[in-house]
Amino acid sequence: MDSIDELYFVEKNCFGDPWTKEMLESEISNKLSVLETETKNGILCGYALGRVVADEAELFKIAVLPDFRRQGVAEKLLTKIHGQMRQKGAFVCFLEVRSRNMPAVLLYEKAGYQRVRVIPGYYGDDDAVVLRREL
């Protein structure tokens, strides 16, 4: 298990509204939780976190430290977490993304996610796009 401090370091450096260490710890200790991490040169540089409930999965977060971006780390994390979701019995994965988060929107589209609907004002300052991908 990677240390919660390393995960929190990535979280803090990737999101304007990061989860607290306690939130991360609590989510990861849930038995429905799925987590994948990527380490380069001994540094935990990215992670993906979600849940599997019955035959459906949800991806909550994916994050890669700025110095490690555009090197395929997120694509690798998605491949690994999709595999783990499948193993735990999920056939489909859903997620919500800010409509203006272009790196993330393009990442998910490249990984085969398709648009389900838009939820106007979901984030207050931005709409949410709900995406889905068969596993």
Ligand X SMILES: CC(C)(COP(=O)(O)OP(=O)(O)OC[C@H]1O[C@@H](n2cnc3c(N)ncnc32)[C@H](O)[C@@H]1OP(=O)(O)O)[C@@H](O)C(=O)NCCC(=O)NCCS
Q: For binding to ligand X (CB under 6 A), which residues are involved?
A: 14-15, 61-64, 69-75, 97, 101-104, 106-107, 110
Comparing CB distances to ligand X, the nearer of 89 and 115 is 115
Comparing CB distances to ligand X, the nearer of 71 and 99 is 71
Distance from the Cα of residue 114 to its chain's centroid: 16
Residues in the chain: 135
> Nearest Cα to 77, choosing from 62, 99, 93?
62
Comparing CB distances to ligand X, the nearer of 79 and 89 is 79
CB burial of residue 73 (10 Å; 0-12, 13-18, 19+):
buried
Comparing CB distances to ligand X, the nearer of 46 and 90 is 46
Q: In DSSP terms, which residues pair with 35 in a beta bridge?
A: 49
CA distance 123 to 48: 20
Q: Least distance to ligand X from the beta carbon of 5, Å?
A: 18
Q: Least distance to ligand X from the beta carbon of 105, Å?
A: 8
In sequence order, which residues have a C-beta less than 8 Å from that of residue 52 and are 6 or more positions away?
Answer: 32, 34, 85, 88, 89, 90
Q: Least distance to ligand X from the beta carbon of 97, Å?
A: 6
Active site residue 123: no
Q: Least distance to ligand X from the beta carbon of 100, Å?
A: 10
Active site residue 113: no
Catalytic residue among 6, 27, 56, 96: 96
**Annotated active-site positions, please?**
96, 108
